[in-house]
Structure 1
């Protein structure tokens, strides 16, 4: 009797065994071998794909490490370079604050890439400044951290043999609080086992501030526009010593922690079919040249009628069209924007539709009407006012009702305005202000009338212009951004706090809670912390 095929070990198969087998057994064996070869081939392909993925991840991390290392080296070169002597006192103070922010931000990113939980000893300054003891008059809230079960695995009760006490500084607006963490040590004398609750992760590792104090520093800086030197003076009135360099480093660490949430907010904003876009200049300090140059903050907000509002800002070194192209990626939909030429190339990509801003056209007539320079301008203002009156009446309607009202009431007025403008243009002389105002409206006519074709599109771009006002206020307090990294960090914080405001949240309460939860929150559930989905931790 021949050996059953299923009992044959393919690794020890001998040619003589094949000769002794019946043809049917050989065929079955061959089928088995082909199946195993196919399985091995599929496994090999999976291994190759996994290896390629790991290689891409390593290349990405290496590139990011190289970039961060370069940024740190350049930061040190600027910090100690002779050219910084050209800066005046205000510029030097701003640069030092920004340098502290950037260094903390880059170090946090570097540690995250290296997968380290604490700062390596090699990176710790040889002579770290001695930390001042927290004032005794501050209210202290004691938190005790003990194991839920103090019975050893051997069955014997464990004995408390000591404790570690650490203090972290927190703030309730207008009041500093010291959280006193007492982590009891429990030991089993039988097993010589020591049990102690681990230290919870913090935004500033081994630092004094809680998430609440980091959030307060960020809100004071980017919402209330209080420079660090003034925050230092305010804190000193409570007997708390917080040098502006320390505040800047806290803000840098906070910005690094908020980066994943900012990226999730960006994805959410770009999921909208209707967007508003605008840009505003911000002075950027160039320490290498000892002066400032012009940079820009670009803003992108979900449509004015979107039931879930959100805005995201992006800091860019210039105003070229490539910046919004890079930021929007493959987004497609209707973009409400002004007549800036930089949007031209952007709108030609990915089936994007342009919607103009009637407020821009109106302002050109308004300037002439207020100056009494043209009776035509006053008439144009009146005709445009009729359209805005209809918009006010349908502002709370749904998209379908709004579109229906526009078609029945606004379209006839719009067509009359078009005929009237063309007739007036033939009667006014070239080169005058009223001719320029009419030419602007006629040239942008299709884009300006886009709101008549889509109930989700607004009549103007005032929605995003209102969301730009905090930057205008900030410019007066900041004077300029200290670096591109500082500018983008400001854009991240402003994106989150302004979106929180749009959703009815208090900025400090929101930032405090998400900074506390981000360090242990699963990355695949990061959307739960976005302003429109956020619920305070119980």
Structure 2
């Protein structure tokens, strides 16, 4: 009796565990469904607001302000539509894991046929020659199913018609047809190159979707803004697993560059200032072999809790500026802080920059600080030596720094401490000196580790595109829109860091990502993709 009871208890516990797991999956699917419904309602509401604003502006608005106001409403609608599409796909993925929760499908406008004058290219998938059911060769042909997908080719568009032949068996009356090919986004309306170009134009070249829509209409291809935004939302869901692999690689580096920049966020009756944070892994300055990469994150504000969350558990070297939000993070972790000398140098340079002063203080004579000039000359001598060891091994860099750079840094410290005691604390030179001396340990960390760079320019370079883009798209329309933008900046920034064409790479990613096994997904990372391309070229040349 005692030998049976443990077995029964184990079976009961397994049954309860299975039931709990099924219940958890159902709850997750129901939650995803609710999110999809809410996102769909928000997209519909944004569309109604856009239509209302268009009618109101057409009737009452001054012509000079119509376009600017409508641009704002269209970008907000674009983000809401992309949110709804992404939530729909996430809900469908969650529902597929259960048997009791039905997926939510958005109601969309009836699909319009593509213009008849666009060239067509037929891809015929032949039907089986024998019945898969009974093996009979007595087959009769039925009308084939045709799916039209808009694809982009250089300098022109074309519609690819995928014709799946269908046959019926005369003996067993079984209808056979090859399966439909994979399409990147639902309904198979657009090809991978078209979608990659859509995303790259928006996030890589900073061209909003409403501008892309206008360009397509000028080329004779009328596609609604909601349809284009729908595709962006779907792309973000499809490529999410690849982003997680990229994130794991970048945050696994021994040394990272970190920075942030502003990102205007559309809010009710105003524009909030959100942030984009970037973390760059680039080992090339000290001859490292690991491929470079960048991951970006979005946050609603600039609180220090965000970088602490991004780098939870990280214990390597972090190169940053003197942003106070990082201070608590370094106190709570084993990370090594390495401050940026370019930031400190800039403060001295501004005090001797005649052109900048003339531009800012029109009509006033420029003032050149002799002390700032002296500090700048000492710092530039350090930069000159650092320039000669860029790309050498960490051990070689460390040796040169100990022999040649450390004496210059000691002389600079003595000079700064001497003059700081002679200047008023409100003096501009005193403030520039205090900026360095208040965290001198962070500024001198590079003297004890050859992997550390003198500046944080690697992170700043990755955010230049965001700064340029702000002038084109004005703001992001939602928090999820900011998260999508951060993920796409990560993709295209990593591709550029690895010296490959972001558009060509992303096109291949979208063409292959659903068919590739999960264990081989790493092959689509930029550096692995580049190596595979080079291997193919070498084989063809041979």
Q: Name the TM-score, length of structure 2 as normaliser.
A: 0.85
Match of 2:246 in 1: 265
Report if aligned partners of 1:284, 1:294 keep a CA contact under 8 Å in 2.
yes
Q: 2:277 aligns with which of 288, 294, 298?
A: 298
Give SS of 1:167's match. Answer: strand
The whole-number CA distance in structure 1 between the counterparts of 2:52 and 2:385 is 57
SS in 2 for 1:178: strand
* 1:493 matches 2:488: yes
CA contact (8 A) 1:258 1:492 kept: no
Partner of 1:205: 186
Which is greater in Rg? Answer: 1
For residue 516 of structure 2, what is the aligned residue in structure 1? 521
1: CA distance, partners of 2:324 / 2:115: 56
Q: Which residue of 2 aligns with 1:504?
A: 499
Which position in structure 2 is the counterpart of 1:361? 344
Q: Is 1:318 matched up with 2:297?
A: no
Residue 215 (structure 1) aligns with: 196
Offset at residue 80 of structure 1 (A): 4.5
1:327-342 pair list within 5 angstroms: 327-342=310-325
The whole-number CA distance in structure 1 between the counterparts of 2:162 and 2:19 is 45
Measured on the aligned residues, the alpha-carbon RMSD in Å equals 2.9
User: Which consecutive unaligned segments of at least 5 residues does structure 1 have?
Assistant: 1-9, 11-32
Counterpart CA distance in 1 for 2:443 and 2:90 is: 44
The match for 1:112 among 80, 90, 93 is 93
Provide the residue aligned with 2:123 in structure 1: 143
Corresponding residue to 1:407 among 397, 402, 423: 402
Partners of 1:78 and 1:142 lie apart in 2 by 38
Q: Which residues in structure 2 correspond to 1:124-273 (within 5 Å)?
A: 124-125=107-108, 128-138=109-119, 140-147=120-127, 150=130, 154-162=134-142, 163-273=144-254
Query: Structure 2 residue aligned with 1:436, among 427, 431, 442?
Result: 431
Asked if 1:471 corresponds to 2:466, the answer is yes
Q: Shift of the alpha carbon at 1:428?
A: 2.7
Deviations along 1:340-399, one digit per CA (max 9) or x if unpaired, are: 111122222331221111111000010112244311111111111121122211111122
Partner secondary structure for residue 355 of structure 1: strand
Contact 2:86 2:236 in 1 (8 A): yes
- Is contact 1:303–1:457 with CA below 8 Å preserved after alignment? no
8 Å contact from structure 2 (residues 25, 97) kept in 1: no
Question: How many Å apart are 1:102 and its aligned residue?
Answer: 2.0
Note the residue ranges of structure 2 that are not aligned, 5 or more in a row: 57-67, 355-366, 537-542
- What is the aligned length? 500
TM-score, length of structure 1 as denominator length: 0.85
Q: Name which of structure 1's ranges 141-150 and 309-318 shifts more when overlaid on structure 2.
A: 141-150
